[in-house]
Amino acid sequence: MNTFLSISSIHQWLVDILPAGAVSIVEMILIALVYLAVFAVLGLYLVLLERKVAAWFQLRLGPNRVGPWGLLQTMADALKLVSKELTGTERADKFLYNLAPYFVIVTSLMALAVFPFTKELQAFDINIGLFFLIAISSIGVIGILLGGWSSNNKYSLIGAMRSGVQTISYELSVGLSLITMVLLTGSLQLSEIVEVQKNGWLIVQGHIPAMIAFMIYMISGTAETNRAPFDMVEAESELGAGFHTEYSGMKFAYFFLAEFINMFIIAAIGTTVFFGGWLSPFGITESIPWLGIFWFLFKTFILVFLMMWFRWTFPRLRVDQLLTLEWKYLMPLNLMNIVIMAFVIWQNLTIQF
């Protein structure tokens, strides 16, 4: 069934049974519920994928008891976290302590809204989509800072301060690597960025500068999500659990799920900007609209697997190494790469005219 027709039929059915003013409100509620369900399922099964990938790298089986092939293990873990008592410390700032997890989870959910899963399936298509994603992802660190500071625990505070330094540093490289590709597309709108790639993915159109931008983006994106080998924010061997040491139950689960959703978001941005988003490599997506979702998720999960590969391959960096990598290597390379990309585009325009 055509995606557009099926969505239009739902809209028409709502128009027929509801007053005019209530239709848009009901549609917004339905879209929010769908995204909440996607958020929950993605979070749970990315955790399962992480465990399976870790087991594969370490020649183990991984979760294999609860459900067939261990598929219900993360569901059981979620039920356990829901049922656990919410503990905290008497010295914590209660309001900020309780508010922090919601900052992290809401920003991740907002970022999901702008991705074009297919040509028609996009909740929020704005002309500054890429800028919106960068801005929203930078707000999430506020939740980590609030959680670490309000816990009134020295380990949590150290983890939170590290998070602030790390996120602010690597956001620059993430932004600059994406700006390199914006020079090529001439648009910040995600749907237009995908349309530009109908004649070839940007990582191919952009030649060597696009490949360099992609490598920098993946390294910086992994660091921005606080994942190993850049997980100085948590650093279990020295900080207990870092910024969420004092959290338990569902509040801990919010931080835990947000990390995996943020990993998906970084991979989804990479898929959209560098690898054609929902477009098929064989040019058949237009005739089978739902196939676009398959290609989008397939490419995204390949990049997710790459980030998991980083985690189970490289040892954790020291703080000084982490900042040296950004400020002495990635940042200068990024700035030079933008100039090279601008020169390549100028040369192409000169040849055309």
pLDDT tens, 323-350?
999 999 999 999 999 999 999 888 877 7
Q: How far apart are CA 133 and CA 138, in angstroms?
A: 9
Please say if the pLDDT value at position 56 is more than 90.
Answer: yes
Cis, bond preceding 281 (omega within 30 deg of 0): no
Which conformational region is residue 297 in: left (phi greater than 0), alpha (psi within -120 to 50 degrees), or beta?
Answer: alpha
The answer to whether the CB of 130 falls within 8 A of the CB of 178 is: yes
Q: How confident is the model at residue 5 (pLDDT cuts 50, 70, 90)?
A: very low
Structure tokens at 167: 């996120």
Structure tokens at 173: 């490289």
Residue 118 is predicted with a pLDDT of 85
Average pLDDT of the segment spanning 313-324: 89
The answer to whether the CB of 228 falls within 8 A of the CB of 311 is: yes
Average pLDDT of the segment spanning 303-319: 91
End-to-end CA distance of the chain: 44
Q: Exposure string (b/e) for 130-148, b if CB count within 10 Å is 16 or more? A: bbbbbebbbebbbbbbbbb
Please say if the pLDDT value at position 291 is more than 90.
Answer: no
Lowest mean per-residue pLDDT among 188-197, 204-213, 239-248, 277-286? 277-286
- Between these two residues, 242 and 144, which has the higher pLDDT value? 144
Q: How confident is the model at residue 1 (pLDDT cuts 50, 70, 90)?
A: very low
pLDDT tens, 31-53?
888 888 888 889 889 999 999 99
Please say if the pLDDT value at position 190 is more than 80.
Answer: yes
- Between these two residues, 14 and 276, which has the higher pLDDT value? 276
Average pLDDT of the segment spanning 69-78: 90
Q: Which of 184, 229, 220, 200 lies closest to 338, judged by CA?
A: 184
Q: How confident is the model at residue 222 (pLDDT cuts 50, 70, 90)?
A: very high
Which range of 112-116, 201-205, 211-215, 313-317 scores highest in mean pLDDT? It is 211-215
Burial of 280 (0-12, 13-18, 19+ CB in 10 A): middle
Alpha helices in 84-128 (DSSP H): 94-112
Residue 283 is predicted with a pLDDT of 65
Please say if the pLDDT value at position 134 is more than 50.
Answer: yes
Average pLDDT of the segment spanning 134-161: 88
Nearest-Å Rg of the Cα atoms of the chain is 21
Residue 7 is predicted with a pLDDT of 63
Tell me the three state secondary structure of residue 349. Answer: helix
Residue 40 burial (CB count, 10 A) = 13
If you average pLDDT over every residue of the chain, what do you get? 87
CA 144 vs CA 20, 62, 81, 156, 158: distances in Å: 42, 29, 20, 9, 11
Q: How does DSSP classify residue 316?
A: P
The percent of residues above 70 in pLDDT, for the chain, comes to 94
